[in-house]
Every structure is written in C-alpha cells, then in structure tokens.
Structure 1
Amino acid sequence: MAEGLEMICFKIISNVGGARSSYIEAIQKAKQGDFEGARECIKTGQKMFLVGHEAHFELIQKEAQGEQVGGSLILVHAEDQLMSAEGFKIIAEEMIASYEKIAALEKKLEKW
C-alpha cells in the first residue's frame, strides 16, 4: 500500500473513531440528564467525523480521476469505522430525544 493511502486511512480511522466515542459519550450524558452536554458531544463528534469523511472523499476523488487507490484491509477498516460512526450518530440523536421525553414525563409525574 502506498504510504499516502495508509496515512489517509489512519486519518479516517482516528477521526471517525473519536467521533464514535463522542456519540457514545453523548448517549451517556443524556441518560444522566445532561442534555446540553450530550448536544456538545454530538457537535464535537460531528467535527471529527467531517475530518474523516473529507479524507475518505479525497480517496474517492482520486479514484474518479483515474488514479489507482487500491484496496486493502486498512482501507476496508477505515470505511467500516466511517459507517459505524455515522450509525452511532443517528442512534445517539434518537436516544437523546428519547431521554429528553422521559425526563419531561418524569417532571410531570413529580407534580402529581
């Protein structure tokens, strides 16, 4: 594998791995009732995800221009991590919304 490709793959893996961790942290914060903290984790994760996504898009552009990018286990892993992080973001956003609804219902019940 060309050294340039390897570096791009590791850029993808490290950034989207960090993004996924931020999304998981967002779920944990929402579970504890820290919805503002959860939203901040989503924002942090999104910034990291975009760096990884842009690196991935760079590879797609190179291949579209006729440059051989090549396939490798590291590239497959990078793409897997990219998709996994994207899925975690969707799940985290849904869980935050659910925890917010639960918290609102619990407040209503306390008033009764």
Structure 2
Amino acid sequence: MENQEVVMGIIIHGGNARSQAMRAMAAAKNAKFAEAAQLIEEANEELNKAHRIQTDLIQAESRGDKTELSLLMVHAQDHLMNAMTVRDLALEVISLNDKINQLSGGN
C-alpha cells in the first residue's frame, strides 16, 4: 500500500471515530444512553483501526523502513490524537448526562 493511502487510512478512521463520539454525546444529551454506548463502541473500533495503521508504521520504521514525513502525515497524526481526545471527553459527557438524568428522575 502506498504511503499516502496508509496516511489517508489514519485520517479516515480518525475522522469516523470523532464523528461517532460527537454523535454519542448528542444521544446522551437526549437520554439515549444505549445508543450513546453503541456509538462509543463504534468510535473505539475506528480508533483501533487507525491505531493499527499507526502501529504498523512505527514497527516498519523500527525495522529500518523509513516513513516519509509529510504535512499529510502530520495532519493524520493530529487527526488521530484529536479523535482520541474527543472520545475521552465524550465518555465524561455521557457519564455526566447519565447522572443528571438520574438526579432529575429520568429513566
């Protein structure tokens, strides 16, 4: 697989993960906690795919196969880290919404 295709995989899976985490927060805001949990699981699956690509690149470099450092690669890494942060924050937001829902007498 070409380096550019590999990098695009990180961007695509990272973007998908971020989108699912954002949707999970919206679901939790509407007290749809089962849906939020499913969306977080989907976000985790996308993050795992992106992380596997990243790990493959790191392992290849440790074997001496240098990866071209490009603006696209930097963007991909930024995209992945942003997606991970949004997922982590989504977990907190979902938890807080659940507590608020419970305290206000919701189901």
TM-score normalised over the length of structure 2: 0.96
Identical residues among aligned pairs (%):
31
Correspondence for 1:7 among 5, 8, 15: 5
Alignment counterpart, residue 62 of structure 1, candidates 60, 63, 66: 60
Post-superposition offset of 1:4: 1.4
Query: What whole-Å deviation, never above 9, does each CA across 1:6-34 have from its counterpart, x for those lacking one?
Result: 11000110011001000000000000000
**2:26 corresponds to which of 5, 25, 28:** 28
CA distance in 2, matches of 1:57, 1:79: 12
SS of residue paired to 1:107: coil
Opposite residue 91 of structure 1, the aligned amino acid is L
1:103 corresponds to: 101
The 4+ residue runs of structure 1 with deviation greater than 4 A are: none
Scaled by the length of structure 1, the TM-score of the pair is: 0.91
**1:80 alignment partner in structure 2:** 78
Larger Rg computed on CA atoms = 1
Please list the CA deviations of residues 51-103 of structure 1 after superposition, one character each: whole Å capped at 9, or x if unmatched: 11100111111111111112001100100011001001110000000000000
CA RMSD of superposed structures (Å) = 1.1
